[in-house]
């Protein structure tokens, strides 16, 4: 019997609910309290590993261990060994960003994303920080790339992958031609912890906490941030129950972390977004299983997934749910993928180091060789940058997917499958224009600068 990640998460949530009315020893489901205590405090393999491939009996056993851990800690003082100090908590990760700025002052800047328009601090008052890496300045601005990790707090190896990318990219500037070109032509924003409240909880209270720290209406804690984004919110793979590990929240974008990441998208209109999670060694498709996908889009998705996954030695699969961060970024025009790294939530650190090396092979190729079908600027006839809405007129998209130009400089990018497409560009107070984009090969970005005439008010 093959068990999907979604099913595993739902079963884990059900097991967790069961422990609320049962003492730990009685909730062992036939494994025995001593066995559960031993498993829950074991130094190795404490985290459930690949739930999608576990036999049903082993799946239930591991999920029971995870669900009982909090009760064991609270009622018996039982705890797991300390987290390997080579994994960074919130304080150390923020300090690491500061260290990068001090080490590479010419190219590195620390950005408080929670200060962006429309963003917010977390429920516990923390900011979400990014490291911005950029080389030579370009008049009018540069396209952006965003790399993020730890939407889910317990996934500590994903944070390490993002942290390692900071050093790899920064240290290569001026030495590696491809990565130097990357920073001279683009800005790279790396967000190693999207969920700082949750990560703090992992290091101080509950080692395998997943969600943020929202106080829910039913008295439970936490929303799954990576189910809280607006695109196809709640359509599949989520829960309405606050106690669930995949609780989507009371409304789309109800959570400050999601709103902050949305604000980053609006601010940058990035070309590329890569979101690291764990585990499974997989690259997830652009769309959730409940979305309608045009065959041309699927062909493009398959093309880029293979190019990202193959160097890593990873497989691919559909996402577990809708309302995930990459879905939102893609719906707003940013090419976006979620990558599941490793075979456990908190593997031995040595395994994480080896996993990161595999991941970098695919990530570095995406950063240095991928390009949209077109990129350019939208301006008024007098050269003033415009914030424009850009959408394909053919029925290529079924859920309102579109892109837009950046408010600050009118910059935009357009990812399209092979074919000839009519693209509508409209901005407030200006005459709408339709331009044709022909895509014959991938990664051959055409320059598409568009000037819109001001609309003339009709005189009676």
pLDDT tens column, 316-337 = 999 999 999 999 999 999 999 9
Higher pLDDT, 344 or 57: 344
CATH no. for 90-369: 3.40.630.10
**Token couple for 300:** 């493009």
| Cα–Cα distance, 362 to 360 (Å, whole number) | 5
Q: What is the chain's mean pLDDT, rounded?
A: 87
| 19 backbone dihedrals φ, ψ, rounded to 5° | -70, -15
| Cα–Cα distance, 193 to 201 (Å, whole number) | 13
The mean pLDDT value for 149-162 works out to 98
pLDDT tens column, 256-279 = 999 999 999 999 999 999 999 999
**Confidence class of residue 16 from pLDDT cuts 50, 70 and 90?**
very low
Per the omega criterion (within 30 degrees of 0), is the bond before 292 cis?
no
Q: Which of 31-45, 57-71, 297-311: highest mean pLDDT?
A: 297-311
Residue 162 has pLDDT above 70, yes or no: yes
Confidence (pLDDT) at 457 = 57
SS3 annotation, 402-447: CEECCCCCCEEEECCCCEEEEEEEECCCECCEEEEEEECCCCCCEE
pLDDT tens column, 59-115 = 444 444 555 555 444 444 444 568 999 999 999 999 999 999 999 999 999 999 999
| Cα–Cα distance, 99 to 332 (Å, whole number) | 33
- Beta bridge mates, 108: 133
Domain 374-452, classified CATH 2.60.40.1120, yes or no: yes
Confidence (pLDDT) at 82 = 81
**Confidence class of residue 55 from pLDDT cuts 50, 70 and 90?**
very low
pLDDT tens column, 361-374 = 999 999 999 999 99
Residue 239 has pLDDT above 70, yes or no: yes
pLDDT tens column, 371-417 = 999 999 999 999 999 999 999 999 999 999 999 999 999 999 999 99
Greatest Cα-to-Cα distance within the chain, rounded to the nearest angstrom: 87
Confidence (pLDDT) at 80 = 53
| Cα–Cα distance, 83 to 68 (Å, whole number) | 18
The mean pLDDT value for 133-143 works out to 95
Give CA torsion, residues 265, 404, 417, 309, to 10 deg: -10
Q: Would you kindly state where each structural domain of the chain is located, as residue ranges?
A: 5-76, 90-369, 374-452
| 184 backbone dihedrals φ, ψ, rounded to 5° | -75, -25
Q: Kindly state the percentage of the chain with pLDDT values over 70.
A: 82
DSSP codes, 176-194: SHHHHHHHHH-EEEEES-S
Confidence (pLDDT) at 36 = 37
Residue 43 has pLDDT above 50, yes or no: no
């Amino acid at each position: 019997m093959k068990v999907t990640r979604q099913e595993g998460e739902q079963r884990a949530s059900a097991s967790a609910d069961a422990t609320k009315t049962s003492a730990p020893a009685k909730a062992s489901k036939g494994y025995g309290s001593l066995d559960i205590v031993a498993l829950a405090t074991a130094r190795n393999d404490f985290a459930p590993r690949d739930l999608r491939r576990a036999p049903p009996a082993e799946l239930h056993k591991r999920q029971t261990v995870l669900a009982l851990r909090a009760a064991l800690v609270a009622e018996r003082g039982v705890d797991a060994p300390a987290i390997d100090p080579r994994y960074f908590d919130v304080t150390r990760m923020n300090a690491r960003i500061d260290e990068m700025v001090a080490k590479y002052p010419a190219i590195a800047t620390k950005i408080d994303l929670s200060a962006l328009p429309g963003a917010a601090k977390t429920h516990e008052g923390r900011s979400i920080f990014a490291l911005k890496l950029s080389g030579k300045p370009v008049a009018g601005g540069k396209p952006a790339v965003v790399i993020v990790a730890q939407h889910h707090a317990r996934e500590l190896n994903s944070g390490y992958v993002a942290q390692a990318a900071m050093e790899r990219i920064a240290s290569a500037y001026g030495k590696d031609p491809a990565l130097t070109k990357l920073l001279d032509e683009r800005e790279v924003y790396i967000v190693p912890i999207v969920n700082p409240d949750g990560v703090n909880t992992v290091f101080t209270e509950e080692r395998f906490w997943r969600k943020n720290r929202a106080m829910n209406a039913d008295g439970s804690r936490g929303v799954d941030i990576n189910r809280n984004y607006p695109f196809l919110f709640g359509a599949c793979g989520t829960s309405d129950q606050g106690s669930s590990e995949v609780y989507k929240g009371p409304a789309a974008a109800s959570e400050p972390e999601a709103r902050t990441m949305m604000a980053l998208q609006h601010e940058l209109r990035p070309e590329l977004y890569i979101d690291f999670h764990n585990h499974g060694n997989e690259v997830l498709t652009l769309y959730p299983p409940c979305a309608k996908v045009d065959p041309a889009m699927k062909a493009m998705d398959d093309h880029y997934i293979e190019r990202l996954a193959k160097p890593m030695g990873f497989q691919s699969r559909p996402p577990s749910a809708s309302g995930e961060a990459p879905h939102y970024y893609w719906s707003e025009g940013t090419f976006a993928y979620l990558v599941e790294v490793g075979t456990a939530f908190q593997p031995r650190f040595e395994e994480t180091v080896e996993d990161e090396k595999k991941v970098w092979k695919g990530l570095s190729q995406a950063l240095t060789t991928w390009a949209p079908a077109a990129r350019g600027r939208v301006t008024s006839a007098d050269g003033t940058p415009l914030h424009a809405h850009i959408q394909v007129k053919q029925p290529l998209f079924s859920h309102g997917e579109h892109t837009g130009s950046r408010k600050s400089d009118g910059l935009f990018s357009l990812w399209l499958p092979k074919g000839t497409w009519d693209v509508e560009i409209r901005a407030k107070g200006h005459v709408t224009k339709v331009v044709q984009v022909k895509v014959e090969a991938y990664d051959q970005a055409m320059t598409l600068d568009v000037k819109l005439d001001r609309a003339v008010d009709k005189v009676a």
